[in-house]
Structure 1
Amino acid sequence: MKLRNSFQARIACVLILLLSVVVGALTIAVKVATNDAVRAQAREQLQVGTRVFERLLDVRGRRLRDGVQLLAADFGFRDAVSSGDSATIRSALQNQGARIGATDMFVLGMDGRVLASTVDKVPTGSLFRYDTALREVRRTSQSMLFVPLQGLPHLLVEAPVLAPLPIARVVMGFSMDVTLAQELHSLTNLQVSFLTTEAGNVGELVSTQPAELAGSIAQWMIVNESAAQRISLSEHDERTYLSQPLLLASSGGAEGGRVMALLQSPLDEAMRAFVALDRNILGIAFAALLASLVGALLLARSVSLPLQSLARAAGRIGHGDYQTDLPLDRTDELGVLAQAIGRMQGGIAEREQQLAHNALHDALTGLPNRTLAMERLGSAIAAERPIALLYIGIDNLRELSESGGPTFVDKLLQQVAQTLLELVRPGDTVAHLITDEFLLLLENLDSDSAVAVADKLQQVLLQPHRFGGHDVAIDCRIGIAAFPTDGLSAEELLARSAIAMKDAADMPGRLQVYQHGRDLAHQRQVRLIRDLRRAAANNELSLHYQPKLDLRDKQVRQAEALLRWQHPQLGNVSPGEFIELAERTGSIQTLTRWVIEEGIRQLSEWNALGLVVQLSLNISADDLLGADLHERVLRLLDLHDVPAEQLIFEITESAIMREPEKALKVLHSLRACGISLSVDDFGTGYSSLAHLKRLPVQELKIDQSFVRNLDETSEDAVIVRSTIEMSHNLGLKVVAEGVEYEHSLRLLERWNCDTAQGYLISRPLTAAAFEAWMQPPLPTSTAVVH
């Protein structure tokens, strides 16, 4: 009995001691953390309050300055000042002051003497005390002056009275009184105080604090005047605050004036919010100590605990729980038995894990199988996460099997699995369903985004790869379905993606989105993405040419090549529609290659006919950042015997700014071979003039949004005219596109714009129509549009 009691006492003492240490450390940590949190929050509140205070004063000052400037510009007021009509001046001051909320209004002569005043203590004829300070504020380009006027802080602004030379100055201001302090208090929840000192005299304290704290606060502000802008602790009547003093104005010297502000956040009120937390911690500590004592007594009585633990462990293993560690750590016979049971548990868990993996994964590729894919799809649906399914069927697997054998096909499927894994993002799922079918689950994607992924996947698989001594290209068809648009269950989505995959066999691009519930616009977009890759090969693309008029000699020596797509079923497709799709799916480089080759070929044909023009071609960001643009263009110029000087490449600001250094290198190489460069859509991007000066460009092209409705009174006129002047100062020519009206052309001529382009001159023309348009003499600018 003594042994049992001694055992119980030791267990109880150890547990209570440890728990006491933990609870004590937790209490101290919570206390320190809450104290730090309160101070940090108060400091942040002060910083925000300071910015609000500065913004409030700035808004008041701006309103006051606008009112003063309005009064100074009034003709009647200027006439009254010129004639010395004091009654009219005073009436005008009072009326304007009442409108803008000013309390102090003066008219000063140019020598600083008061000509009129609404403040009794500043009589007419006296020298205005703050005249020098106002002049200093004006000299430093500041807009407001804080002064200690009549013992209270005041904010003053001034404006000159011009007739047309300065004949007087109007000064207005308002008192920073309790109303302003209360307004700032309501905005920031901070205590606000204002105080002035002048010639050693302390003014009246303006504060939202209780009256009994006024003396202590004023004394603290005077003592801590030199610590302005520094947050520190202060105590007033046993109340603790985190204080932010602000020195608004200081004229220096013993007789000088000071205007000070003080923002305070009470810490005591914030700390009272944690009193309940302290009581809860003490209650929890007491309950924990009591519970530990009871537990210690129960533990001591459990002499059979080791055997019970082993028995429970064996029961858990029997029920399939292999993850829970055995709680017994001994060196005697029971410990040996516990170690044996632990090894048995680990062996069984490893074998069951392998069996579970084999049940959910494909043995050949190691990818999830249909069961695991459906499980993950069901989880995404249950969590209501958007997910897209790409059902992939390999069509030429049988032919590959006949040529390479089963072993070759197994290795090929493993390679396909690895390629698919490299193409998807972390978190997406690639599953192998049956021999020639794969399933991709793309998290947080809809059908539109999945089309771009599928298009890229097809391009990668269709590229020939050297594998096992054979050149192999995977011919596949892909069906797409998405949750929740195409189905609300895993089985429904899988079935519909399989249907879409089968329908893809009849489509030219072998890519199909499940059609149920799809609108015509989406079907059209999918079709355009699918057909765009083959548009050039199917001779569906063409170039139209829009003349560019030289405004100095009224001659056309340049044209811009504009891409057109005539779809066999959909008809003419707008460039604004298919160019965006090409950039999004990565087909833009194919289009640009075709445009460059066709443009150079057309120049060669025109040169042979004696029609020599410069041709502008648009270059995408992807082409500008490519590695072979320079060499490819040189080969084409040499092939068609076209001088590089006949080419102008137009590059948008956004394309240049994507990777400026790399783009700059490519542009220099193009310019070195004689190709001219133009910045297209100038004014719609974000490039700086400093960066523009580094670019080897010869012209800027003002975006048509600024030119289309151009007239002399519009805001666009300022932008266009400034751009032309700036470009000429930088040694650049200027092209204005979108010229549709005669008066716009006249303005561009008057502003010395170099080139104009738009429907007023000519619409984009086919090559044959352009040749015919160039044959007759160019009409004058007053002629009708070609």
Structure 2
Amino acid sequence: MKGKFSKRLNYLLYPRGYAIAINISIIVLLSLLVYIFVYQTGGTKYVYSHSTYLPIIFASVVFGVKGGLLTGIVCGILLGPLMPLDTKTGEAQQAMNWVYRMVIFVVVGTFSGYMANAFRYNTKRIIDYLTHNQETGIPNISVLTKNYLIKEVLDDENTELAFSILINKYENIIEVISRDYYNDLIKQIYNNLREALPQESQIIQSATDKFWVAIKEPNVEENINKVLKTLNVSYYVNKIPLFVTFSIGVCRHRSLYSLLDTFRNADVSARRAQKYNVPYLIFQNEHLESFRNIELLGMFRNALHQEELELFYQPKIALDTCKPVAIETLLRWNHPKQGEIKPLEIIPLIEETELINTLTYWVLKRSLETVSNLAKLDIKMQISINISPKNLLDSNFIDRVIDLVDHYNIDNECIEFEITESALIENLDLCRKLLELIKKYHICLSIDDFGIGYSSLSYLSNLPVDIVKIDRFFINQMTKEKAVRHIVQSTIELVHDLGMKVVAEGVENQEQLEILKAMNCDYAQGYLFAKPMSETDLINWYLEYHKHERIY
């Protein structure tokens, strides 16, 4: 809404093209309407003649002194010799009356036009200061991010291509020729682009070393060649020849994105072109994803050492006793600038690197420390920790686990390792051998997100698994679809026949709980019982829970 209002007001203050014709038509129409109105209300002897100031002031605002002066004369004539003093009697006005009135109209129009011109001039100075680089006089990024009233606002709707042009090693250039001469170079580049590109193309200096160019022509290769040809010329500053190279990123503008987002995508490609020492790159979605992934992994390395990570715990309830018997460890990452970063966004990336072993050890250590703290308060609960197949492949993994167990003096059976079904199936034979090794240490094993990663249940009998966790999707849908309810029922029965226990994830209401009880499900966890919480909140929740002996 703000952008549309700014554009409309822009047309009023800076009319051009058809906007001039429209404003002239409005002035003429207003003048004729006022003339008819005054005539129909009895002539100039009544107060209604003051309505004439409307077209005069409008003309002065739109066209300044000239508009106000000319409209004042026209309206003076319309309400002068062409308008009777009294339309009923046909009495004409005295010449002195209408001439004096026309003089007043001219004075008001001229003065209003002068004030409008002064306002327009000062407004333009302020806006130019805000929207142009003060060292080079080139439009800056504010023309995109602010709704200022400016003539050369970037056209979001008609732009086809966005170029990001980086000046390579600009710091070295500044160091050699000084900042002032560098600004002269920037002006040269801008002027060259301005002259070579189509007139409707728009260029801004978005950073010290960067230009953004919006082009309305959709031909990518043709425009890239034109930009390259324009940039790859000899530059002279103070008669000193300079060798300047550029890295260019190009992105096609889509209506789904703002023009600012399109330029940022072009920036990603320009940086990659700079990195790989190529003249230009055209933006592809994978560039942005790759850049974001690298950024996340870099931030995560710091997060491990700067205490940005935190563990939350969600209780698991035994449905036969309605008491909490275990907790699941959940990772939370609160970045100081980007806020909470979801585990699903970062964990898959970490699993592709050696960071997963560092992270798992960190989670293990903190989790077992929590179990130890709970034990000191006479709270004994099993703790389940998610592990990755890469952890199983780490030859030191088991030894490090046992060292931590011994350090915190914890019973091995208090530990449960969860591994997702999809990760397990990727290398079933190898995982089975490694899980059997873990099982020798009496550590509980469970399959997480059961039902969403593999279509067959037959492999379960060959795995040393104690618990199967049914994915929240099935728990949510079983109250809506009978077919899903039958799947959950059959899964619970089969898992029990194999001598394993069942956990239902994502239980959020009483109806789901009653169905699971009727199916003889062993455990449940979800928002119906408790949301994930910190260690302190968990202790308070547990004590409160037992104090009231809740029954679901």
TM-score category (smaller protein): 0.3 to 0.5
TM-score by length of 2: 0.48
**Structure label with greater radius of gyration:** 1
